[in-house]
Amino acid sequence: MVSVRIRKSKIDGIIRCPSSKSYTHRAIAIASLTEKQSVIRNPLISRDTLATVAASNAFGVNTNYENSRLHVEGKHSFDAPHNVINAENSGTTIRIFAAISALVKKGFTILTGDASLRRRPMQPILDALAQLEVECYSARMNGTAPLLIRGGGIKGGTVILDGTISSQFLSSLLISSVYAKSPVLIMIKGQQVSKPYIMSTLATMKAFGVEIDYKLDFLEYYIRNKEYRATKFDVPTDFSTGALILSAGILAGGSLTLRDLNFSLPQGDSKILDIFDEMGAKVKVDKQRGEINVTGSNILEGGNFDLKDTPDLLPVVSILALKSRSTVRISGIAHARLKETDRVANIASQITKFGATVKEQNDQLLITAPKVLKNASIETFNDHRLFMAFSIASLLTKSSTVSGAESSKVSYPNFLQDLKALGADIELS
C-alpha cells in the first residue's frame, strides 16, 4: 500500500467537491432499465461507480462517457452475462445488481468482488429474492459473495426484509421490483438503518418516472408494475466527501468555501451541518448560491451524536472529536462494522495513536481529545473514508504518515491533489 507523509498545514481556498457516489450508482442502474437513452450529467467517475458501469455493460447496456456526461442506452430484456460480474469494492453495485440479475430471461449471473467485498453480508438480499421465487445462492453457502442468481424474472408477492444491516438491500429490491410480474409488498423487520439513502433511491426512481407507495416510517413499501422513462439526470454534489473537506477547513483553516452544492435532492450526510452547529464550528450556508464556508476553530464542543442514518459520517465526527473540549459520544454505529472494514474498531485502534482516549462499545465510541496531538503512523486498512479522514487529522500534527493512498480512488480520486491545492503539505513517503 502507498503511504503519504503529511505535515502540519493550514487549509484555505475554494473548492467543488465530487459528485455523489450514491446518486451516480442509482442513476446508472435505473437508466440501464429504460428502453431509450438517458443522459447522466456530472456523474462521479471513480472505482466504485466504474464497477456499476461495467455491471451494466455486462448485461448488454451501452454506455459512453464524454464531456462530463454518461450516455446510457438501457433495455428491458437482459441476457445472462458472458462473464462473471466483478463489483470490485462496491457494496452498492453487487447488491443492486443482485436483484437486476433476476430480471434476465434465462441462465445464471455470477457476482463477486474484491477480498473486502467478499466478506460483507449478502444474505438479506438472497433471502428477499427467494421470497419472490428467485433462485439464488451464496457460492460458499455462508451469505457472502460470490453470488449466483438465476434469471427468469421476479414473481412478486410479500417480502420480509431485515433492515438492520444496510439500506442497500431495500434499494436493490425497490429498483428492480418495478418489473416484477405482480405487485411487491416489502415489509421491514427490525429498525431500518440509513433511511436517507432510501430517500435517495426513491428520489432517483421518481426522476426516471416511477413513484411508489410507502409508509412514512420507512417500514412498508408497495410496488406496482411500472416502467422507467429515459431522462436527463443531474447528479448532485456529494455531502459525504463534502463533509470531509469541510472538516479539514474547520480543523486546519483558514477559510474554506465549498461551492456548486445541490440542496434540491435528499442527502443524509447533509446532517453534518447540524453536527457542525452543535459542536460550535464557524459555518455559513448559502443554499441559493450552493455554497458553504467554514473557518478554522481552535476548539470545538463535545456532544452526543446518533449516526444510525448517516454511518459515513463516523470518520468525520471521529476526527472532529480531536479538537473537542469534552468527550464526543458517537452512537448508532453497529452497522458501520459491516462497511468496507469494521470502521468502529479500526477508528478506535488508530485514533488512539494521535493521543486520544477512546472507549469502544458495540454500538458506540466515546472519544476524548488529547491536550496535544501526537505524530502518528496510521493504518487505514485500505478503506477510502478512513484514509481521507486520517489524512485530514494528520494536518494537525507536526508530521504523520497515513497508509492506503490508493484507496481514495473508490470515491474521491482527486482527494490528495485537491487537499494539496488547498495548502496541505503532503508527499509520498
Residue 25's φ and ψ, nearest 5 degrees, are -55, -50
Indicate the pairing of strand 328-331 with strand 184-189: unpaired
> Smallest Cα–Cα separation from 114: which of 144, 75, 150?
144
Query: How far apart, in whole angstroms, are the C-alpha atoms of residue 117 and residue 226?
Result: 32
Find cell 432510501 and name the residue. Answer: 198
Q: How far apart are CA 193 and CA 182, in angstroms?
A: 27
* Residue of 312, 342, 363, 383 with catalytic role: 312
What is the rounded distance in angstroms from the CA atom of residue 1 to the CA atom of residue 3?
6
Angle between helices 47-58 and 21-31 (to 10 degrees): 10
The letter for the amino acid at 220 is E
Selection from 154, 49, 191, 207 nearest residue 199 by Cα: 207
312 is catalytic: yes
So which residues are the catalytic ones? 312
